[in-house]
Amino acid sequence: MQVLMTVDYVATWGGLAMVGYFDPGENSIKGILTFSDGTTGEFVFKRNQDFVRLYPAPSIIDARTRWKFATKVILDRIQRQSWSPSYILKRIKDRKRYMDLSLRYEYYGKKLDGDESDEYYDLVSSLYDTDARFYASLINIKLSKVPIQYVNGHSSYLRSALTS
């Protein structure tokens, strides 16, 4: 579906006319502008909240300002995506799975099967240093609550305590 847009700025801008079509794929209006002296050019109106909210004033657009605008938009998008609800839920799920596999592998000494060991090493490689230290402290807290069973002078963690 195409929508025709025609705007004439006769009094204000000296005979500027714009004719464009809505592009639903990009959510934008694209077209050609024509000045009263016959000069033409292209225009694009994009409806994107990032651009509208962070775009600098048109009177001060130079290379440095455009660069600052681009970095602000990218940084803002990354921050919003990295703290989205789906990202936080994924981190919680990964933390629980990492702690479960880590307790079974590192502390209990149980061998992980092929899929579990691949998953464990993927989780380990994706951890930030601060997350790894935090998870290690949570594991230590959980282990401090686990009763230790001594058999023939050797200590071992009780299986039932680790699975709870």
Average pLDDT score over the chain: 76
CA distance 4 to 29: 9
**Do 92 and 117 belong to one domain?**
yes
Q: CB of 46 within 8 A of CB of 27?
A: yes
- How many domains, in total, are found in the chain? 3
**Do 93 and 140 belong to one domain?**
yes
Residues in the chain: 164
**Do 92 and 158 belong to one domain?**
yes
**Is 104's pLDDT higher than 80?**
yes
**Do 18 and 34 belong to one domain?**
yes
Q: Which residue has tokens 């209006």?
A: 29
Q: What percentage of the chain has pLDDT greater than the value 90?
A: 4
41 or 10: which leads in pLDDT: 41
Q: Tell me the CA distances in angstroms from 82 to 50, 76, 92, 124, one per residue in order.
A: 16, 10, 13, 19
pLDDT of residue 148: 66
For 55, the domain range is 49-83
**Do 136 and 110 belong to one domain?**
yes
3 state SS of 97: helix
**Do 56 and 101 belong to one domain?**
no
**Is 116's pLDDT higher than 80?**
yes
